[in-house]
A = this chain, B = another copy of it.
Amino acid sequence: MTTRLDAFDLHILKIVQANNLATHRAIAEEVNLSTPAVARRLQRMRSEGVIWKDVSIVRPEEVGNRMTIIVNVAVESEAIEQLDAVKHRFFRCPQIQQCYYVTGEADFVLIMSVKDMTEYEALTRSLFFEAGNVKHFYTAVAMHRVKVSMEIPVGKDA
């Protein structure tokens, strides 16, 4: 929060969070600004890290990665060293899309994208059993991805 964002910035963010391929002209028209103004603001927000990434999102079904699995993991030791080791292991696994370190009964929540249960089972072995420091884990299979987004509410509903 080192940066101050005005109403124009927030409006632009709202747009590019939904579609970052929108042309500067189209954005400029919607927010009532000139093309270079929009370009400057986008460039600033990208260099300052307000916008931290620009990505395409693909449908899992289309590339053969079919199942989404949500795993709650509890660790044995919460010593910093051990915890960092676990975090790194999770971070480096491509099938783990998201990993949150959380309060409460579980220590980690993982969101994974795997091809099938066979692949998942193999991963549980290498990630949870063999690697150590995992007390127990609870697996939930996603039957329906009701909503999948990275959008952050800005403006009126923020």
CB within 8 Å of B: which residues of A?
1, 3, 5, 10, 13, 16-21, 48-66, 68, 70, 87, 90-91, 94-106, 108-109, 111, 113, 115, 138-154, 157-158
In angstroms, Cα B66 to Cα A46, docked, is: 19
A62 touches B150 (CB 8 A): no
In angstroms, Cα B1 to Cα A61, docked, is: 6
| In the complex, chain B residues whose CB is within 8 Å of the CB of A113 | 152-153
| In the complex, chain B residues whose CB is within 8 Å of the CB of A105 | 138, 140
CB distance from A7 to the nearest CB of B (A): 12
Task: Tell me which of B20, B87, B108, B109 contacts A54 (CB under 8 A).
Answer: B20
B143 touches A17 (CB 8 A): no
A17 touches B63 (CB 8 A): no
| In the complex, chain B residues whose CB is within 8 Å of the CB of A149 | 97-98
